[in-house]
Amino acid sequence: MKLEYEIAALEAVLFAAGEPMETDRLAEALGLEPDTVRDMAATLSSHLAETGSALQLLTLGDSFQLTTRAEFAEQIRAALEVKRNTPLSNAAMEALTIIAYNQPVTKGFVERVRGVDSGSVVNTLVERGLLEEAGRIEVPGRPVTYRTTAHFLRTFGLQSLAELPPLPTSGEPDLFEVQTGEEDMLPEDAEEAAAELDNLETIESADDSED
C-alpha cells in the first residue's frame, strides 16, 4: 500500500509540475532516494501504458515529464481553442486592467487591489496571450512580474498603451509601491477602468485568425 501511495504521489507531482522534473528534485520532494524514484517512474510508466491512460511518462535524460499521448492532440487543441476564444470574465477583465495600467506588477499586487486570490485569473490571461512575464523583483522570494503583450494591444484595437482610457485616479504605483503594498488604485477604480477597457474590446477570435 505504501508503494502504491508513493507512486501516486509521484504521478501527482509530475502532473502538477507540467514540465520535466529532475530525479534529484523529485527525490527531495518525495523524501526518497533517486534510485527509488527511477524504479517508481518505470512502474508508473508501465501502469499508464497497460491501463490505456491518455497520459504517458517521458524520460528525458535524468528527468521525467507527464504528458498526454500524441493521438489525442487534435481533441486537446480543439478544447484549448474553445477556451482561448471564450469571452473574458469580469474577474479576468479587472485583473487585466490592473496590470495594464500599473505594469509590470506581481500577482500579489493584483490580489491586494482586488481583495481576492487572483493567481488562476492571471495564469489564464497568460495562457490567452494577453499577459507575459516581465522578470522578477529583487526582493525576498523574487516574485514574478507581469505585463501586457502585443496581442493585448491588437485585441483591444490599441496602437500603444498610451491609448488606454484615462484612469479615474491620479498617479500610478511603481515597483517600490508594489513591494510595499502602497497601491493607489482602489477596487472601485479597477472596476471602472475595466468597464472603460471593455468598451474597446474587439472580437478576439478574429484577431487569433491572423496569428
CA distance 34 to 31: 9
pLDDT of 190 above 60? no
pLDDT at residue 177, as a whole number? 39
Q: Which domains, ranges and CATH numbers included, belong to the chain?
A: 2-68 (1.10.10.10), 81-208 (1.10.10.10)
The whole-chain average pLDDT of the chain stands at 79
**Most confident among 101-115, 152-166, 175-189 (mean pLDDT):** 101-115
Short-list 91, 100, 113, CA closest to 148: 100
Q: How far apart are the first and last CA of the chain?
A: 50
pLDDT at residue 56, as a whole number? 93
* Burial environment of residue 91 by CB neighbours within 10 A (0 to 12, 13 to 18, 19 or more): middle
pLDDT at residue 209, as a whole number? 37
C-alpha dist (Å) from residue 105 to 45, 91, 93, 192, 202: 40, 17, 16, 19, 25
What tens digit of pLDDT does each residue of 59-75 get?
988 999 999 998 998 88
- The pLDDT confidence band at residue 28, using thresholds 50, 70 and 90, is very high
Residue with cell 485569473: 121
pLDDT of 13 above 90? yes
Q: Which helix (H) or strand (E) holds 195?
A: helix 187-198
pLDDT at residue 1, as a whole number? 58
CA distance 17 to 11: 10
Section 167-183 average pLDDT: 43
85 touches 204 (CB < 8 A)? yes
Cell of 107: 500577482
pLDDT at residue 23, as a whole number? 95
pLDDT of 45 above 70? yes
Query: What are the counts of helices (DSSP H) followed by strands (DSSP E) for the chain?
Result: 11, 6
pLDDT at residue 114, as a whole number? 85
Asked if the bond preceding 143 is cis, omega within 30° of 0, the reply is no
pLDDT of 205 above 50? no
Section 133-147 average pLDDT: 87
Q: pLDDT exceeding 90 applies to what percent of the chain? A: 35
Section 182-210 average pLDDT: 49
CA distance 91 to 105: 17
Section 44-60 average pLDDT: 93
CA distance 151 to 208: 9
Section 14-42 average pLDDT: 92
- Answer with the residue of higher pLDDT: 156 or 198: 156
CA distance 150 to 160: 9
Pairing of strands 21-22, 55-60: unpaired
C-alpha dist (Å) from residue 123 to 78, 189, 197, 211: 20, 22, 20, 21
pLDDT at residue 176, as a whole number? 33
Global confidence as pTM: 0.47
